[in-house]
Structure 1
């Protein structure tokens, strides 16, 4: 079968590329720091969700979940475009070292706040500090790649390294579930998970010491503008990127579609959290176990999208595949989710994961091929901001619509209507005048956006 041959070829190419990259000592060491740091991120994110959603001491509500998502994602949106301004002035090895050490201190402080049962807003403040530092560490990891591989293999490294980090974050989340589920309910188990994250942050800091201080740059001999000037220039660059995007209808239309699909994903995520906590009668421990399964099943949908999208987009075209993803979700999500039963909801989680990631991979390719190279970085910064803001906005809308137990037919039908709207609109774009879809263009998974 052609599809099986495509999958096998993709898998072999990834293994071959990774073997080549691992021959570079600097890349191996930088990858080690990334894997440890992002696995710690996964642990900390699950700890935050566990404390806010499943802790017996908390009266969990959709509004509390929306607040937690804002804490996790808004630092990426607000700080992301400006992180590079400072990274071009600080030694990046030191950013990785001191950034992880600072997160050790902040995570241990967060664990102490959990044990002290402080007001939720104070816990959010501590968690926000950890995730804000995370923006600089991730940007530092990406900015350092050109210093540890040659130019010929840089694209390969930009593809594989962040993907490996995403898998490490998922593994860290799984580790957090394993640590917390057997433990007695209460603040002590939540604090234990946070401490596990702090240990991983410490290991990431120690791993960075295996690299020379000057290895990752920046070059101290290069003159740079004043900090205030650089910040202003960055803001102006984002405005210029937005104006350029307005002149590239294909990219703007695909981004609008992706924002709506991300909104649907966020709203359904909050619903599943509330169902796990209250509707399925599993208690805090059983709810955590069900949430872990739901996250794993959704992750399988993401993986299926990564395998399926290159093959499907070759045949349906990029906009055609986005339309298929949205239409499939519009049909399958209500038929599965309106029962509000665990097994059908898990099926819906797989469908939503596949549809969201499949459309995102196609959107990444549309943006890369439609936007001029000199604007591409700025447009992708705007893309990251839109991606995260849509998710947080969805959580806010879900907080207004969901009842305490999470069973809301109105929310499911609203999401279904959005999926159908995207499918119709993108199908119209595909067949509209002046919108050739590039059916024969290859579509490959791009660097994942962090969330």
Structure 2
């Protein structure tokens, strides 16, 4: 399997292993943190789940990534990245402990402010991981490391999520249980901070500290957008993944409501939560499948050819769901949609990296980050208007399938005659 072989290659490096450990432990904490949030927002007996509530919560969770993203790259050129990883995890530990206390004492505005703060700090942490990677692997292993690190991080998050789910099932539904899951996440963040100290402060760069003002983030975002517009392969790929993300976001919110209100009694939050955990497991399986089959598919049909084929697979899946829905079908759909989402994103990442100038790469990826997350926020607003409370509407699922198909056809036409192949 190419994925396992690549992982073995990059794990030979001591510095990579240390950075990898920081990522895995921290993202396992992210998984537990997200389980606690899902329990509080969507599966609390005191709160009814509606499309508007789900959309608002998910949009709020993504907004920090959209707003902080343009400034993260600029500030990471000014601060020692090892220190960013250390301090970000330490700060998140304190914030999540505070959230656990607030859950027990009072679920109010202060709780949601603290959650947004934790998510914003997480954005700096993830950006720091990405910027640090070239400092711990040779140039000829960078593509491998870029492929395996995020995938393994996602799997670690799923593992952390199942740990949180297990605690919830063992201890029962309640604010006290959610607080314990949050404390488990805080412990993971604290452990990740300790692991970061095994690296020397200057190991991860930047090589030359530069003076940078936060306002430079706006200029960097504009520069990145202009550069993408001048590089047609990158522009086409970002437009396609943006439309894909929009369709995926509507489907994601509908799935939460299906688990909460359609396949389970809305009063039985435990059953709904269990089903959502199974859906996330299926989604994670799809991510793992994508890591295995994407190198094969992109070799067979080209990098751009694999992207639009992933979109077609997602479109067909949504059309089937528009005709009929059942729990087994929902789980199969989650596997296919997860594989399509991860497979297309791996390829789009590679296309953008290959087609932009190195001097603009950081700014381009800041712009990419905003496009990717803003599409999800817009999807949340759209879902609030279109998706019913029980999550199932044949016209809505047909619309989602048509959006995927539009992305596939549009991107296939854009690259026709000059397909993109990235090795």
Asked if Structure 1 and Structure 2 have the same fold, meaning a TM-score greater than 0.5 normalized by the shorter chain, the answer is yes
Q: CA RMSD in A?
A: 2.3
Count of aligned pairs: 421
Q: Does 1:424 align with 2:409?
A: yes
Instruction: Summarize the alignment of residues 139-288 of structure 1 with structure 2, pairs less than 5 Å apart.
Output: 139-150=127-138, 153-218=141-206, 222=208, 224-225=210-211, 227-228=212-213, 231-281=214-264, 283-288=268-273
Find the partner of 1:436 among 410, 418, 423: 418
Structure 1 pair 348/395, CA: closer, same or farther in 2 (3 Å)? same
SS in 2 for 1:405: coil
**Preserved contact between residue 181 and residue 288 of structure 1 (Cα < 8 Å):** no
Partner SS state of residue 325, structure 2:
coil
Q: Distance in 2 between matches of 1:312 and 1:108?
A: 44
1:113 maps onto 2:113 in alignment: no
Larger radius of gyration: 1
| Matching of residues 335-414 of structure 1 within 5 Å | 335-414=320-399
Alignment of 1:15-94 (within 5 A): 15-21=7-13, 24=14, 26-94=15-83
Matched with 1:322 is 307
Give 1:203 deviation, angstroms. Answer: 1.4
1:310 shift after superposition: 2.3
TM-aligned CA deviation for residue 337 of structure 1: 4.7
Relative contact order: is structure 1 or structure 2 higher (C-alpha 8 Å, sep ≥ 6)? 2
Deviates more, 1:334-343 or 1:382-391: 334-343
CA shift digits 1:275-327 (9 cap, x unpaired)? 11111125211111111111111222222222222222333333333332222
- Which whole-Å deviations, capped at 9, do the CAs of 1:162-199 have from their partners, x for residues lacking one? 33322222211121111112322221222221111111
Tell me the TM-score normalized by structure 2. 0.91
For the Cα contact (< 8 Å) 2:93–2:189, is it kept in 1? yes
CA contact 1:107–1:195 (8 Å) conserved in 2: yes
**Superposition deviation, residue 11 in structure 1:** 3.9
Give structure 2 stretches of 5+ with no counterpart: none
SS in 1 for 2:391: coil
Asked if structure 2 preserves the Cα contact closer than 8 Å seen for 1:71 and 1:124, the reply is no
Contact 1:329–1:355 (Cα < 8 Å) also in 2: yes
Q: Contact (CA 8 Å) 1:45, 1:72: kept in 2 or not?
A: no
- CA contact under 8 A between 2:10 and 2:16: conserved in structure 1? no
Q: Which moved more, 1:289-298 or 1:362-371?
A: 362-371
Alignment check: 8 A CA contact 1:111 1:191 kept = yes
Identify unmatched segments of 5+ residues in structure 1.
Answer: 1-7, 444-451
Compute the displacement of 1:55 (Å): 0.9
Q: Is the aligned partner of 1:99 residue 2:88?
A: yes
CA distance in 1, matches of 2:72, 2:120: 10
Query: Quick one: distance in 1 between partners of 2:259 and 2:176?
Result: 21
Q: Provide closer, same or farther for how the CA distance between residues 181 and 399 of structure 1 changes in structure 2, counting only shifts above 3 A.
A: farther
- What is the CA–CA distance in structure 2 between the aligned matches of 1:150 and 1:401, rounded to whole Å? 49
